[in-house]
């Protein structure tokens, strides 16, 4: 049942007065059960955010950069926490290095109205947190080929047809 509800939530709620009742109808259960599963997914942390998912590019934030750093392993936690706490940083993840072609282990996303404002934010971050000596790289996005919510459950696993194919 949880799987089916996750699947129903992946593409977002129908904009209708009782969106959870619509999910319940499709799954042949009652509205309260759907609400309970959603609350449970929030409690366990499976849902990290439930709300209006905006598209930053369309809202005028035309520039986004993935900024990657090569932080010594013993310093990575402290640096990551500083960066994650800064409002300019929208994501902050540690990932593995893949030497020799990829030496970076800390990944941040930074958005801005234009390239210059993103660059300004990056230099502020570097000076504020004393990161001037860390090797880093700025990867501006050039083209967006695809952007949508993740699908953890395939239509087959959810036992129903996919609404939007």
Interface with other proteins, residue 60, by CB under 8 A:
yes
- What's the rounded Cα separation, in Å, for the pair 68 and 83? 12
Sign of CA dihedral 58, 60, 63, 64: negative
- Quote the tokens at residue 20: 């959870």
Q: Contact with other proteins (CB under 8 A): which of 22, 26, 56, 126?
A: 56
In angstroms, give the least distance from the CB of 132 to other proteins.
21
- What's the rounded Cα separation, in Å, for the pair 140 and 133? 21
In angstroms, give the least distance from the CB of 48 to other proteins.
4
Binders of other proteins in range 84-103 (CB under 8 A): 84, 87, 89-96, 98, 101-102
Interface with other proteins, residue 134, by CB under 8 A:
no
Please choose, out of 116-124, 126-134, 135-143, the segment that lies near other proteins by the rule CB under 8 A: 135-143
Sign of CA dihedral 124, 127, 131, 133: positive
Binders of other proteins in range 8-37 (CB under 8 A): 9-13, 15-21, 31, 35
Closest by CA position to 105, among listed 134, 65, 127, 142: 134
Q: Contact with other proteins (CB under 8 A): which of 123, 127, 128, 141?
A: 141
Interface with other proteins, residue 133, by CB under 8 A:
no
Interface with other proteins, residue 161, by CB under 8 A:
no
In angstroms, give the least distance from the CB of 26 to other proteins.
15
Nearer to other proteins, 133 or 154 (CB): 154
Burial 67-101 (b: 16+ CB within 10 A, else e): bbbbbeeeeeeebbebbeebebbeebeeeeeeeee
């Amino acid at each position: 049942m949880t799987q089916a509800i996750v699947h129903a939530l992946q593409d977002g709620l129908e904009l209708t007065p009782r969106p959870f009742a619509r999910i319940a109808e499709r799954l042949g259960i009652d509205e309260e059960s759907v609400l309970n599963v959603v609350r449970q997914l929030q409690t366990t942390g499976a849902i990290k955010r439930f709300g209006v998912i905006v598209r930053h590019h369309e809202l005028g934030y035309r520039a986004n950069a993935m900024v990657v750093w090569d932080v010594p392993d013993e310093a990575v936690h402290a640096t990551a926490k500083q960066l994650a706490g800064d409002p300019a940083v929208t994501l902050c993840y540690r990932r593995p290095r893949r030497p020799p072609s990829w030496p970076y282990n800390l990944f941040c996303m930074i958005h801005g109205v234009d390239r210059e404002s993103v660059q300004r934010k990056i230099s502020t971050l570097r000076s504020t947190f004393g990161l001037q000596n860390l090797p880093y790289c700025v990867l501006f996005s050039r083209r967006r080929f695809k952007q949508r919510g993740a699908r953890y459950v395939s239509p087959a696993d959810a036992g129903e047809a996919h609404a939007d194919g």
